[in-house]
Chains A and B, each alone.
Chain A
Amino acid sequence: MESVGETVFIPARTGRRVRRQIIDRVLVLALTALAFASVATVLGIIGFIILKGLPAISLSFLTSPPREGMSAGGIYPMIRGSVLLMLGTLVLVLPLGVLGGVFLAEYAGRSTLSRLLHASIASLAGTPSVIFGLFGLAVFVLMMNMGVSLLAGCLTLALFTLPAVVFTTENAIRSVPESFIEAGLALGLSRWQLMWKVVLPNALPGILTGIVLSTGRAAGEAPPILLTAGIYYATGDLPRGWDILKQPVANLPYHLAEGYRQGGVIPEAIVWGTCLTLMLFVLLINMWAIIVRTRVRRKQAW
C-alpha cells in the first residue's frame, strides 16, 4: 500500500456552496418553465382550435352534407369517409400486423437477420406519409387499376400503420411473462398452440389498443389519402354493396387539404369546425386507447 501524501484539499467555502445551490435552483426552475412552456403551447393550440371550432359544430353540421358548392351545410360525408377509411385500414392491417409482430417476437430470434428485419420495419415506421401516398398511387391506383378509390386508400393507410402495429404487437407479446409460457410448455402445448392459447389472448388488449392508436393517427394523415382515395365534392349518397370500395370517398383530412388548395371556397367557420371534428376524431380514439392501455397495464401488473 502506498503511503498517503499530505492533504492538498482546501475546505469548501460557504460562498461556493451557496452559488452551487442557486445555480441548481435556477436550472431546475428553468427546466420546469421550459417543460410547462412546451406543454402549454401544444395544449394552447388544442384549446384555440376547440374555441374556434365549437361555434360551428352542431348536430346538423355533423349529420348533413355540404351545400352550395361546399360553402354551406355540414360535413357528414367527410366524417363517414374517415370512418370508412379507418375501418378498412383496421381490417387490412390487423392480420398483417399481428402476424408480423408474432413473427418478430417469437420466430425471428435474436440473430443478425432479426436485427435487419427490425431495422427494415423501423425504416418503414419513419418513412414520410407522402411516400406512402406515392407508392399507393403508383401501385394500387395505377398499376393495379383500382383508380382513386376507398380500397386504394385503405391499402395505403394499412401500409402506413403497419410498422406501428407490428411493433406494438411485438412489445405486447414480449411483455407476456415468461412464467405463463413455461406453464404452457409444462402442459405439453406445441409452439403454435402456446401462441394461440396463451400468448395471444394475454397480449390481445395491448395489441388492440396499439392498433387503434396507430389507425387513429393514420385517420388524421392527409398525404396518403390525397393521392389515392380523396374526392372533394361529395354528396350524401354512397353506392351499395362492394361498389363502395371502388369509389373515391370524401374525408376529413382531404377536405381540409383540398379546401386549402381551392383557396377560400369554404368559409372559415366551416374550416374550423372541420379542424375541430378531425382533431376530436383522432384525439378521442387515442384517448380511449390510452385509457384502456393504462387500465390493462395496471390490471396486468404481473
Chain B
Amino acid sequence: MRWLGRLFEAGVYVTGITVSLVVLVMFYYVAREARYAFGDTFAWGFRLALLPADSSDDMSPGSAPYTTLVTVNAEGSDGLDEHEEIVPAPSVSSVEGEMMLTTAATLVSDITDIRADRLYRDEWRALKTTQQGDQFLVLGYATPRYQQKTMVLAWEPDSGFDPTLSPYRLVLRLVRAPHGVDVQPFDIDLKRQPSGRITLPAWVARTDAERSNGYVFEIQATPHRSAFWATLRGIFSTEWAPTLMYPRYGVLPLLIATTLMSVLAMLFATPLAVATALYLSEIAQPRLREWLKPALELIASVPSVVLGYFGLMFVAPSLQNWLGQALGMESGRNLLTTSVMLAVLAIPIVASVTEDVLKTVPESLRESAMALGLTRGEMLWKVLLPAARSGIMAAVLIGAARVYGETMIVWILSGGTASMPSLSSLQDVSRVLVGSTRGVPDTIAIEMGNVAFESVHYGHLFLLGVFLFAATVLVNLTALYIGRKQVWRV
C-alpha cells in the first residue's frame, strides 16, 4: 500500500506542475509556429517595357502591350506551373505588325549565355525564383518597322507591389548596349525611383538571330534589410490581404477592429451587467436570487455560435431596418451588430463575477451605511460600488478578455472586410460603426481552413494567435492583480 501512496503523490506533483505549465507550453508552440511568418520569401515584381519615343507620358508599362513582368515569389509563381506558362518570344517577323518595340526575358542570368532561340515573351513572370540576390536579364529591341531615332525604356512596380516594403535592394541597370550604340550606362535604385522612363537610341533587330545582340537590362535583387525586420514592418502595416499576388500581412486593422468591437461591447455590457449584479445581490429577494443566479450561469453557457446565428437572423436584419437608413448601413453584418451580440455574450459573465465580488464586501459596510441614514441608493452608489470597485473592474476585464477572443460571433456577424478604421471625424466614426469589419480570432479560424500548412500565410495566422494570446493573458493577469487588491480588510 505504501508504494501506491507514493505513486499517487508523485502523480499529484507531476500533474500539478505540468498543468501549471500548460499555458507556457501553449505559448511556446503557438509562437514557434509563427516562425513560418518569417520565411524569407518575399514577392516582388516590376514591369519593363519599351515605348515609342513619341508616346504620351501617361502611357505606362502596365498598359503597354509589349511589357515584361519580372516577378518573384508572387502567389502561384513558385515552382509548379512555371514551365506550362513559358511562352517563347514571337519571331521578329511575326510581331512586326503591332509590336514594334519588344522586350524578352532570358532564362539565364549570364550575358554570355543568352541565345536567340531561347527568348521568352512571358508577360507573367521571370522564369525563376530568387531568394538571395539574383539577376534577371531582359532583352530589348525594335523591329524593322520602327522608324524613330529613339525609344523609351519605362518601368514601374507591378500593380499591388510596394517596393518600400521589400527587404531587397532592387536595381535596374543597363548591362549591355548593342554593338555600336553609344549610350550612358545607368543604374537606378528602384526603391527611390519605383517608376520612370529613360530615352535610349533605337536599335533594330532585323532577324530573329540578331535579337540576342540587343539592349540587355538587368533587374538585380539583393537582400539588404534582414528578412526579419521586413516581415515585422509588414506586420505593423495597415493592410491585411494575404491572398493577393503580393500579400500584405498588416495586422493593425484586425487588432484595431477587435479592440474597437470589444470596447464597444463592454460599453454596452458593463452597465447592464453591473446593474444585474447589484440587483441580484442587494435588491432581489433571497428566493428570487436563488433562481436567478443559476439561470445567469446557465445563460452564460449558450454556445457562441448559436448567439452568432441569432445575431445573423434576428439582430442584423432588425438593426438594418431601424437604423439602416439613418446611418447608411449597407448590411446588417457590421461592427455595431457584432458589438451588440458580443455584449450579450459578456453580460452574464460579468454579472456573475460581479455578483460574487459584491458578496465578498463585508456586511459591516452595508450596516454602517444604513446606520448613518443613507438611502439604499446612496449606500449602493457611495459605499458599495467604491468598495467593490477593483473587483468590478476585474470582472469587466475578465468579460473583456472573453469578448476579445470570441471567434464565432465575429466570424458570422462582422461582415469580413479587413480595413483600417479611420476615426478622424464623426462621419468616419459612424461609417466604421456600420461598416463591415474583421477581427483577429475570426481571421485565424476562417483562413486557417484554406491555407497551406507551414506557409508564410500560415505563419502569420499563428502570429495573430500570438498577439491574441498575449493580449488576453495580459488582460487576465491585470484582472487577477487588481481583483486581489481589495480595498477593505477582511
| Residues in chain A near residue B405, CB distance under 8 A | 127-131
> Closest CB of chain B to A138's CB: distance in Å?
4
One of A34, A97, A223 near B271 (C-beta < 8 A): A34
Alpha-carbon separation in the docked complex, A205 to B469 (Å): 33
Of B112-120, B174-182, B193-201, B372-380, the stretch lying at the interface with chain A is B372-380
Distance between Cα atoms of A23 and B278 in the complex (Å): 17
Residues of chain B lying within 8 A (CB to CB) of residue A157: none
- Please tell me if B362 contacts chain A, counting CB pairs below 8 Å: no
Residue B406 is within 8 A (CB to CB) of chain A in the complex: yes
Q: Is A83 close to B, CB under 8 A?
A: no
**Residues of chain A contacted by B187 (CB below 8 angstroms):** none
Partner of A103, one of B12, B22, B411, B448: B12
Q: How far is the CB of B126 from chain A (nearest CB, A)?
A: 33
Chain A hits for B272, CB < 8 A:
34, 37-38
Chain B residues lying within 8 Å of A118, measured Cβ to Cβ, are: 480
Q: Contacts of B309 on A, CB cut-off 8 Å?
A: 49, 256, 260, 271-272, 275
Interface presence of A193 (CB below 8 A)? yes
The 0/1 profile, CB within 8 Å of B marked 1, for residues 209-225 of chain A is: 00001001100111100
B348 to chain A, nearest CB (A): 6
* Chain B contacts with A in 7-57, Cβ cutoff 8 A: 8-9, 11-13, 15-24, 26, 29-30, 32-33
Chain A 93-136 interface residues, beta-carbon cutoff 8 Å to B: 95-97, 99-100, 102-104, 106-108, 116-135
Residues of B within 8 A of A21 (CB): 375
Closest chain-B Cβ to A47's Cβ sits at a distance in Å of: 11
Stretch in contact with the other chain, from B84-92, B97-105, B439-447: B439-447
Report the separation of the CA atoms of residues A167 and B106 in the bound assembly, to the nearest whole angstrom.
67
Q: Which residues of A contact B295 (CB under 8 A)?
A: 39, 43
Interface size class of chain A, counting residues whose CB lies under 8 Å from the partner chain: 35 or more
> Which residue in A49, A100, A127, A275 is a CB contact (below 8 Å) of B15?
A100
Bound: A103/B11 CA distance, A: 9
* A299 lies within 8 A of chain B by Cβ: no
Instruction: Name the residue in A45, A104, A191, A220 with the highest tally of chain B Cβ atoms < 10 Å from its Cβ.
Output: A45
Residues of A close to B228: CB separation below 8 A: none
Are the CB atoms of A120 and B375 closer together than 8 Å? no
Binds A, one of B135-143, B147-155, B158-166, B296-304: B296-304
Q: Which of B233-241, B396-404, B427-435 contacts A (4 or more CB under 8 A)?
A: B396-404
CA distance A138 to B453 in the complex (A): 9
B107 within 8 A of A: no
Whole-angstrom CA separation of A36 from B279 in the bound complex: 9
Residue-wise, chain B 236-262 has the 8 Å CB interface mask toward A (1 for contact) of 000000000000000000000000000
CA distance A43 to B296 in the complex (A): 10
Instruction: Select the residue from B32, B469, B475 with max chain A CB neighbours within 10 A.
Output: B469
Distance in angstroms between the alpha carbons of A37 and B295 in the assembled complex: 14
* Complex Cα gap A97–B20 (Å): 11
- State the majority secondary structure of interface residues on A: helix
In the complex, which of the residues A26, A35, A138 contacts B32, with contact meaning CB atoms closer than 8 Å?
A138
Would B305 and A128 count as touching, CB distance under 8 A? no
In the complex, chain A residues whose CB is within 8 Å of the CB of B312: 260
Shortest CB distance B314–A (Å) = 6
B345's nearest neighbour on chain A, judged by CB, is A42
Residues of B within 8 A of A45 (CB): 302, 307, 310, 344
What is the bound-complex CA distance between A116 and B402, given in angstroms? 21
Q: A24-B375, A131-B26 given as contacts; is B275 within 8 A of A34 (CB)? A: yes
Q: Is the CB of B275 within 8 A of A137?
A: no
Are A24 and B378 CB-contacts (below 8 A) given A39-B292, A48-B310, A126-B473?
yes
A71 to B461, CA, bound (A): 32
Contact flags B357-383 to A (C-beta < 8 A → 1, else 0): 000000000000000000111101100
The answer to the question of A78 belonging to the interface, with a C-beta cut-off of 8 Å to chain B, is: no
Closest to B400 in A: A126
Residue B205, interface by CB 8 Å: no
Interchain CA distance A260-B303 in the complex, whole Å: 15
Say which residue of B22, B279, B465, B473 sits within 8 Å of A32 (CB atoms).
B279
Q: Could you list 21 examples of A-B contacts with CB < 8 Å?
A: A34-B276, A46-B302, A96-B19, A103-B19, A107-B12, A117-B16, A120-B22, A122-B476, A126-B476, A129-B407, A133-B444, A138-B29, A138-B30, A138-B33, A159-B22, A192-B5, A223-B407, A253-B408, A260-B309, A275-B309, A278-B305
| 10 interchain residue pairs of minimum CB distance | A128-B405, A103-B16, A220-B303, A35-B279, A126-B476, A34-B275, A100-B19, A99-B15, A27-B377, A24-B375
Q: Add 18 more A-B contacts to A100-B20, A213-B301, A220-B301 (CB < 8 A).
A: A27-B380, A38-B272, A39-B295, A42-B299, A99-B15, A100-B19, A102-B12, A120-B20, A120-B23, A121-B22, A123-B23, A123-B476, A127-B23, A128-B407, A128-B468, A130-B445, A131-B472, A261-B446
